[in-house]
Structure 1
Amino acid sequence: MHPGFVPAQGKISWGDFNSVKPFSGDFGFDRGGAVDRYYIENFLAEQSAHIKGNVLEVADNAYTLKYGGNNVTKSDVLHLNAGTPGATYIGDLSKGGDLPSDHFDCIILTQTLHLIYDYTSALKHCYRILKKDGVLLLTTPGISPIDRGEWGKYWLWSFNEHSMRKIFEELFPASSYTIETFGNVYAATTFLYGAGIDEVDKWKLDVRDPAFSVIVTIQLTK
């Protein structure tokens, strides 16, 4: 089947997608990795020069260590739940808590904003706690399954390029941030079904169609 092929009406061959049940109930992590992480990790790799100095990451510091490496002098982790191993700050980002102002060189906020009811307040706190010239690296879901586990009850929002532009233009100078989207109908479909990253054609993931955004990325400099 050649790229761009569209079957005639009534001639669709559904194959493995002829099911109301996904291949995975865990975003594809149990099949080798989630499709959306392809975009998230490419974004962080491209922005790795900003992951340096004192870095704050939400939930854990895996991406801080992977993409910052020896350029990171201090790695902090913000988690919602007390007693979480490795967490150095506990609390809700939208409330700010004990997070110090003008303190971090970089904040890594991946796949978190949609879990925060008052996401505007969370973004304001991110800006407050960044040092001058500090960088926020943010990703958020577009088209996505909803988590079946502990985070499902917190899953409140879904964003696209236009909603994120509207939010950011009301909060920050236009010259301070860059917004991009990644995905297409193939990426969205394979992600929704829970195909593993090694089960898909990565070259197809690189095609961008803003009508089917799987991931929205934002780089903001204070």
Structure 2
Amino acid sequence: MIDLNIDMRQYDCPFIDTTDDVDIAFSAVQWQLDTDAEKLETRLIARGNSPGTLDTGLQTLREHRNMSDYYLLSRRGNVAQIGTVIEQTNAMKTIQRHGGYITGPFQIENGREHWHVGFDDDDAEDRTLADLERHNDYDVENRDQFGASTLFDLLENADSARRLLDGCRSLTETERKTFETASRFGYYETPRGATLDELADHFDISKTAVSMNLRRSERKLLGAALSALSDVDDEETPL
């Protein structure tokens, strides 16, 4: 199986057009493509820069010419869960026509959409990408090719992967930046490429504050890793 991470700009997509005009982002939760009716039914999370921006974005989305149905499922502040039915876009038709399929959730922000698209072989991939160029703008950001055993292992351990992802998402912006910078500067190498004093100078805060930010991020990530590790379905190693 071939899996592509594609940064896409479609010119007939209601979600992309809406994020072009309004500071709003969409993340797909569930989706179902009806190829006979040429429609895509989707459940999404919409996040606006503010409650007022969310109102404007949802109104813009409802009024789009390719929007067949729209309904609000829930809302809290500047975040809403919505259901939509849209006309099948050119990119959807192209991928489906050449035997491709959506393999993961998609996100839309700032007029661009991130897709995960799968193919069974190189020929289907090549035909699809060549055809997509005619009516869409895209960049392939990542390409992975999995064998059956690798794919089975990924599916079997999806819960462990989710725990790791949840751990990463639990970091505050300050914790994430501190941890990433410390790693990039070689703080975790042997010998250390950077000291706490140097990190404190970089962030213009005290050595104690840097240490606390690192400890919090390490505790969260280590906890997520240990939780995931306990669920990994490894084969027993013979003694």
- What TM-score does the superposition give when structure 2 sets the normalisation length? 0.28
Structure with greater strand share of residues: 2
TM normalised by structure 1 equals 0.29
- Higher Cα radius of gyration: 2
